[in-house]
């Protein structure tokens, strides 16, 4: 069964905790969208101190967090996100030209590493980098805003990555819903990262199950 990871694209601490609490009983991981307003044309709530507040929600254990770093200086966030609850950092390939020291710093702390790429970024420019990461995240639209339609051209990139790296976990973020998910899974995706499809649904647990099963939600 495919893994579903809710994305937390929020503007306040309260919204972060409310959405985390809403999905915590239904998933193993959540993805925190961190945007600095420079790498992308949007900013989000990104105070790492909120990580200490998750324990107060009473989950034992709570879902792990992966941080999607849509920022211009990704190395600056590695130490800031050093917390037992944060498992993986997802770096955007367009945000740096020298990944070796960044990856080394992240791994020294204990993070696993994901690499994300925009739809228009040629695979040839980062295919070798994929040999050094634990996951590939294909962006289904332009990073920075949720609720976008999925760009189907991304499926070809996913197919090529899956052919080249048969065992690499592959996720899609942006445009993920129960209608678009089947084509993503057929192309080789193993992780569905969804925001609007989950948090705008009338029944959040059902929306998550709909994504896992690749069927439309009956209440959204």
Q: Which residues of 16-55 are buried (b: 16+ CB within 10 A; e: fewer)?
A: bbebbeebbebbebbbbbbbbeebbebebbbebebbeebe
pLDDT digits (tens, 9 = 90+) for 21-56: 999 999 999 999 999 999 999 999 999 999 999 988
Strand partners, 91: 69, 115
CA distances in angstroms from 64 to 74, 141, 162, listed in the order given: 20, 25, 25
Kindly state whether residue 12 falls inside one of the protein's structural domains.
yes
Between 2 and 215, the higher pLDDT residue: 2
CB atoms within 10 A of CB 84: 11
Q: Is 69:34 a contact under the CB 8 Å cutoff? A: yes
Structural domain harbouring 141: 3-213
Judge whether residue 98 has pLDDT over 60. yes
In a domain, 179, yes or no: yes
Residue 95 covered by a domain:
yes
Query: Does the pLDDT value for residue 219 go beyond 50?
Result: no
Q: Residue 173: its pLDDT value, please? A: 98
The answer on pLDDT for 181 being more than 60 is yes
218 domain residue, yes or no: no
Residue 219, domain member (yes or no): no
The predicted pLDDT at position 179 comes to 94
Within-domain flag for 220: no
Determine, yes or no, domain membership for 113: yes
Residue 86 has pLDDT above 70, yes or no: yes
Total structural domains within the chain? 1
**Confidence band for 216, pLDDT divided at 50, 70 and 90:** low
* Residue range 118-162, pLDDT digits in tens: 999 999 999 999 999 999 999 999 998 877 899 999 999 999 999
Q: Could you tell me what percent of the chain has a pLDDT over 90?
A: 92
**Average pLDDT, rounded, for the chain:** 95
- Is residue 220's pLDDT more than 60? no
pLDDT computed for residue 147 by the predictor? 78
Looking up residue 190, the CATH number of its domain turns out to be: 3.20.20.70
At which residue do the structure tokens 């211009």 appear? 72
pLDDT of residue 215: 61
pLDDT of residue 55: 85
The answer to whether the CB of 77 falls within 8 A of the CB of 34 is yes
């Amino acid at each position: 069964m495919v893994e579903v990871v809710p994305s937390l694209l929020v503007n306040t601490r309260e919204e972060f905790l409310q959405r985390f609490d809403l999905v915590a009983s239904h998933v193993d991981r959540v993805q925190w969208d961190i945007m600095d307003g420079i790498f992308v044309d949007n900013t989000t709530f990104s105070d790492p101190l909120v990580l200490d507040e998750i324990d107060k929600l009473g989950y034992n254990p709570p879902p792990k967090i992966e941080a999607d770093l849509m920022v211009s200086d990704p190395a600056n966030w590695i130490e800031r996100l050093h917390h037992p609850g944060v498992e993986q950092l997802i770096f955007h390939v367009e945000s740096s030209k020298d990944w070796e020291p960044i990856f080394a710093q992240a791994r020294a702390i204990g993070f696993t590493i994901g690499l994300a790429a925009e739809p228009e970024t040629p695979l040839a420019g980062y295919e070798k980098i994929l040999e050094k990461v634990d996951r590939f995240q294909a962006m289904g639209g332009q990073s920075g805003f949720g609720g976008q339609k999925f760009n189907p051209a991304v499926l070809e990139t996913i197919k090529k990555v899956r052919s080249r790296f048969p065992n690499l976990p592959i996720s899609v973020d942006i445009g993920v819903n129960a209608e678009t998910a089947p084509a993503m899974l057929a192309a080789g995706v193993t992780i569905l990262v969804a925001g609007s499809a989950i948090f705008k649904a009338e029944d959040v647990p059902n929306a998550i199950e709909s994504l896992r099963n690749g069927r439309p939600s009956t209440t959204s």
